[in-house]
Amino acid sequence: MKQVFVFVRKEFYHVFRDRKTLLLLFGLPVMQIVLFGFALSNEIKKADIAICDYAHDATSQKIVQALNAGTVFQTREVLFSHREIESTLRRSDEKLVIVIPAGFSDDLYHQHKAQIGIIADAEDPNLANALIAYAARIIADVQSRVIPPSSLPMQIIPEIRMIYNPELKGATNFVPGVMALVLLLVCVLMTSVSIVREKETGTMEVLLVSPLHPVLFIVAKAIPYFLLSLLNLTVILVLSVFLLDMPVNGSILLLYAESALLIITALALGLVFSNITSSQQTAMLISLLGMLLPTVIFSGFMFPVENMPVPLQVLSNIFPSKWYYIIVKGIMIKGLGFAELWKETMILTGMAMLFLIISFKSFNIRMA
Amino acid sequence: MSEVVFDRIVKTYQRNSIRALDDVSFSADRGSLFGLIGPDGAGKTSIFRILATLTLPDRGQARVSGWDVVKDYSKIRQVVGYMPGRFSLYPDLSVGENLSFFAALFNTTVQANYDLIKDIYRQIEPFKKRRAGALSGGMKQKLALCCALIHRPSILFLDEPTTGVDAVSRKEFWQTLGNLRKQGITILVSTPYMDEAARCENIALIQNGKILSINTPQKIAGEFPETLFAVRSNNMSGLLRDLRGMSGIGSCYTFGEFHHITFRQGIENPQKWLVGELESKHHHEIEFMQVQPTIEDCFIRLMKKDE
């Protein structure tokens, strides 16, 4: 046991004496959270719009007021002719132009049908879609207020309701993704690089020619990075809760337990990578490519998996990050418990076991 | 009683294209100091790696302390101390941390075996807090030897421990090895320096993966079959060229400040003949003497014979 303790202590010396490692270990999660939280947010705040109101009646005023009431839109310009629309959008100052034709109220009350134009700058299609959806919702809201419920003929107003994330906060979506990304990256990278470094410096030769059992070696290599990853997880959680108002609706204990499961999976993967590579650069490259891309692409936090071709959807199942992402979203946002998440937990456990077995089997008791 | 046995070992690398060891056999007795002498690339490191159970031989058998290097690798790893050819300690750990780490790795403590390493460790103890990576070459080697010794191994494998070490430290190093031998530790040591060979009990001369000769250093030197002479003049490079051009000269090579030469048979009074020849080729300040063959002389002779 003392062997393992001394070995773990040695690993901590390595980590704390190497500024680059420290920076990677704790700078990465902070950077990711800040980057995704503020810079890469797909949350829309104060989008500039232009209004071209030919009607100038009570209903159109209500719509304009309603559009400006929230935090999403702000009217930057009032246009007096639809001829200005194109030049306005071309200048890219406004993302959206709302055109209300003359006689809007009359049409609505007497013909029970009124038209309103929403013209969007679709340069960024996602943004345009989101803005149109917002605007349509606000208009529908106004419509339901101005038309008395008893009036005939009955009008069917589509009701858009957003649950779990009514303010459409970006954080709820990406924090679980960043957690998966950081834990996987850090664990896989740290373990594989730390073992490969022993090979590079030649210390592996000396370690092999010692009574230290390979299993103890692997355990001793895994413990420090397991502990550091839990610390990392705490940093991410504290940042997301206090900086990004991320909710933790479910059990925090379950969240840590599930994260520990992912960390073990990642450590085992790191061990596998370190067994098949012999230079730190290769280990780093494999870890980065093997973890970063699939996590970003297939976990569902950047691109919805449902929109992918079927073969890619099937492929997404083999990446542990996908299951962890589902679990974390379930716990943090929906407040789900183990009863609802046991299936995903089982899959993740199976992966952890598989990679652990592979890492033990592929461990080379001699020099490659 | 042979503590280390190497029996007809063949080892190839890169899919048999490089033959590192070609049918190598030798054995070292318990408590002896056995030297593997040969230039870079002779196969010394391959021998150590097989004995230290780090690589598998293609053919042949090797035993350490009676254990087979393939089957009983874990038994061997308990009893040997191995110091690889290149510096293999943690550069970011201090001298003291390295030592206590390796002690703990072998389930022992620095205090328990301090007596074994104190002669060497005393010299690096003033730098105990310094990171191992910041030590000088000689001190690194001393620390590496301490780390290989700290668990009181019964057999010590030292792969070129004195390479890159200054002359004074080399001498001290070999004195230490002599002391360790007296404590009953079997030592297998390799070196590219021929002058160090004389300090071993038995030596094996290795070249291109083949053993040229195995014997005591005295016997190997004594087996030199010809009379050896040293010669020099004011123009050493011209001298070497001229000597090689003479039909009466058997072999000729540079050795320190002299050229060592042997004569072909049938030359009467070789000194008079040679000096006459050289003076006719405008050499001055000619010095000529008979010398005792060293191990290096034997090595060069065996190498040439092998080619």
CB–CB contact A6 B101 (8 Å)? yes
Record: contact B54-A205, CB cut-off 8 A: yes
Residues B90 and B184 in one domain: yes
Q: What pLDDT was estimated at residue B193?
A: 87
Q: Which amino acid is located at B264 in the chain?
A: R
In chain B, residues with a C-beta closer than 8 Å to the C-beta of A210 are 77, 102, 105-106
- B62 near B68, Cβ under 8 Å? yes
Interface test with A, best of B11, B69, B92, B99 (most A CBs within 10 A): B92
Phi-psi region of B243 (alpha: psi -120 to 50; beta: other; left: phi over 0): alpha
Q: Is residue B178 part of a domain?
A: yes
Q: B221 in a domain, yes or no?
A: no
| Statement to judge: residues B239 and B156 lie in one domain | no
Do B159 and B284 belong together in one domain? no
d(Cα A84, Cα B82) in Å, to the nearest integer? 84
Count of residues making up chain A: 368
Distance linking the first and last C-alpha atoms of chain A: 28
The ipTM value here is: 0.88
Residues with Cβ within 8 Å of A223's Cβ and at least 6 positions away in sequence, in order, are: A4, A8, A11
Residue A268 to residue B49: CA distance in whole angstroms:
28
Does A365 contact chain B (CB < 8 Å)?
Answer: yes
In A202-336, alpha helices (H): 203-208, 214-244, 252-276, 280-287, 293-298, 310-316, 320-329
Residue B220 within a domain? no
Q: Is A310 on the interface with B (CB under 8 A)?
A: no
Amino acid B10 reads: V
Q: Which residue has the tokens 């009036």?
A: A151
How much is the pLDDT for A39?
Answer: 62
User: What is the spatial distance between Cα B172 and Cα B151, in angstroms, rounded to a whole number?
Assistant: 21
Residue B261 lies in a domain: yes
Query: Which residue has better confidence, A111 or B54?
Result: B54
For the residues of A303-332, what is the DSSP string, one character each? S-GGGS-HHHHHHHTT-HHHHHHHHHHIII
Position with higher pLDDT, B15 vs B181: B181
Chain A residues with CB under 8 Å of B104 CB are 2-3, 6-7
Is the omega angle on the peptide bond into residue A153 within 30 degrees of 0, that is, cis?
Answer: yes
| pLDDT for the residue numbered A151 | 57
**Domain enclosing residue B273, as ranges:** 228-306
Closest-CA distance, B93 to chain A, in angstroms, reads 7
B189: nearest Cα among B145, B138, B219: B145
Among B215, B248, B277, where does a domain finish? B215
Which residue, among A242, A224, A244, A221, has the nearest Cα to A232 in the 3D structure?
Answer: A224
**pLDDT for residue A62:** 84
Q: Are both B88 and B139 inside the same structural domain? A: yes
Is 60 exceeded by the pLDDT of residue B8?
A: yes
- Predicted structure pTM score: 0.79
Residue B179 resides in a domain: yes
Tell me which residue in B84, B105, B106 faces A205 most closely, judged by beta carbons. B84
Considering the domain architecture, whether residues B53 and B182 belong to the same structural domain is answered as yes
Q: Which chain B residues touch A209 with a CB distance below 8 Å?
A: 52-54, 77, 80, 82
Q: What CATH number is attached to the domain comprising B295?
A: 3.30.70
Judgement on whether residues B166 and B274 belong to the same structural domain of the protein: no
Give pLDDT tens digits for A262-317. Answer: 999 999 999 999 988 888 899 888 888 888 888 888 887 777 777 788 888 888 89
- B54 interface with A at CB cutoff 8 Å: yes
Nearest CA in chain B to A5: B104
Q: What's the pLDDT band for A149 if we cut at 50, 70, 90?
A: low
Look at residue A157 and tell me whether its pLDDT is greater than 50. Answer: no
| Nearest CB to A13 within list B53, B88, B92 | B92
Maximum alpha-carbon separation in chain B: 72
Q: Determine how β-strand B2-13 pairs with β-strand B59-64.
A: antiparallel
* In contact, B226 and B199? CB cutoff 8 Å: no
What pLDDT was estimated at residue A170?
58
- Is the minimum CB–CB distance between B154 and chain A shorter than 8 Å? no
Percent of chain A's residues with pLDDT above 70: 88
The answer on pLDDT for A129 being more than 90 is no
The answer for residues whose C-beta is within 8 angstroms of residue A228's C-beta and 6 or more apart is A15, A25, A186, A190
Say if residue B190 is in the same domain as residue B52: yes
- Greatest alpha-carbon span in chain A: 93
User: If pLDDT is split at 50, 70 and 90, which confidence band does A28 have?
Assistant: confident
Please tell me the distance from the alpha carbon of residue A23 to that of residue A194, in angstroms, as a whole number: 15
For chain B, what percent of residues have pLDDT higher than 90? 50
Q: How far apart are CA B186 and CA B33, in angstroms?
A: 6
Those residues whose C-beta lies under 8 Å from the C-beta of residue A160, and which sit 6 or more positions away, are: A133, A136, A137, A140
Q: Is residue B223 part of a domain?
A: no
H, E, C per residue of A100-139: ECCCHHHHHHHHCCCCCEEEECCCCHHHHHHHHHHHHHHH
Using the Cβ of A7 and the Cβ atoms of chain B, whether some distance falls under 8 Å is answered with yes
What's the length of chain B?
Answer: 307
CB atoms within 10 A of CB A210: 20
How does residue A10 score in pLDDT terms, banded at 50, 70 and 90? very high
Interface test mutation site (partner B, options A209, A363, A365, A366, max chain B beta carbons within 10 A) = A209
Give how many domains chain B has, as a whole number.
2
Dist. CA B126–CA B135, nearest whole Å: 12
Q: What whole-number distance in Å separates Cα of residue A363 and Cα of residue A343?
A: 30
Residue B222 located in a structural domain: no
**Does one domain contain both B259 and B205?**
no
Q: Is residue B58 part of a domain?
A: yes
What six digits make up the tokens of A163? 């649950």
What SS3 string covers chain B? Answer: CEEEEEEEEEEEECCCCEEEEEEEEEEEECCCEEEEECCCCCCHHHHHHHHCCCCCCCEEEEEECCEECCCCHHHHHHHEEEECCCCCCCCCCEHHHHHHHHHHHCCCCCCCCHHHHHHHHHHHHHHCCCEHHHCCHHHHHHHHHHHHHCCCCCEEEECCCCCCCCHHHHHHHHHHHHHHHHCCCEEEEEECCHHHHHHCCEEEEEECCEEEEEECHHHHHHCCCCCEEEEECCCHHHHHHHHHHCCCEEEEEEECCEEEEEECCCCCCHHHHHHHHHHHCCCCCCEEEEECCCHHHHHHHHHHHHC
Average pLDDT of the residues in A251-263: 95
| B273 and B266 Cβ atoms separated by less than 8 Å | no
Whether A21 and chain B come into contact, CB under 8 Å, resolves to no
Angle at B60 between CA B56 and CA B66, to 5 degrees: 80
Confidence of residue B112 (pLDDT cuts 50, 70, 90): very high
Sole residue written with tokens 């807090």: B129
Query: d(Cα A45, Cα A74) in Å, to the nearest integer?
Result: 9
Q: Which range (A60-69, B107-116, B119-128) has the least confidence?
A: A60-69
Are B123 and B159 part of one and the same domain?
yes
CATH of the domain at B171: 3.40.50.300
Tokens of B24: 């190598």
Q: What residue has token string 């692409």?
A: A297
Are residue B199 and residue B257 in the same domain, yes or no? no
Q: Which of B185, B215, B245 is the last residue of a domain?
A: B215
What digits encode the pLDDT tens for the residues B130-181? Answer: 999 999 888 898 999 999 999 999 999 999 998 878 888 888 889 889 988 9
Quote the tokens at residue A139: 């208009």
Contacts of A337 (CB under 8 A, 6+ apart): A250, A251, A254
Tokens of A290: 């093997």
Q: What angle do CA B281, B285, B286 make, to 5 degrees?
A: 65
Band (B202; pLDDT cuts 50, 70, 90): very high
Tell me: do B140 and B278 sit in the same domain.
no
The answer to whether residues B99 and B156 belong to one domain is: yes
What are the tokens at B44?
């010394």
Kindly list the structural domains of chain A, giving each domain's residue range(s) and its CATH number in brackets, ordered by start: 2-40+169-362 (no CATH), 47-146 (3.40.1710.10)
Residue with more model confidence, B164 or B42: B42
A201/B91 Cβ within 8 A: yes
Among B215, B245, B261, the domain boundary falls at B215
Burial pattern A84-122, b for ≥16 Cβ within 10 A else e, equals: ebeebbeeeebbbbbbbbeebbebbeeeeebebeebbbe
Question: How much is the mean pLDDT over chain A?
Answer: 83
Give the distance from residue B201's alpha carbon to the nearest chain A alpha carbon, in angstroms.
Answer: 26
> Counting beta carbons within 10 angstroms of the beta carbon of residue B274, is it exposed (0 to 12), middle (13 to 18) or buried (19 or more)?
buried
pLDDT at A148: 65
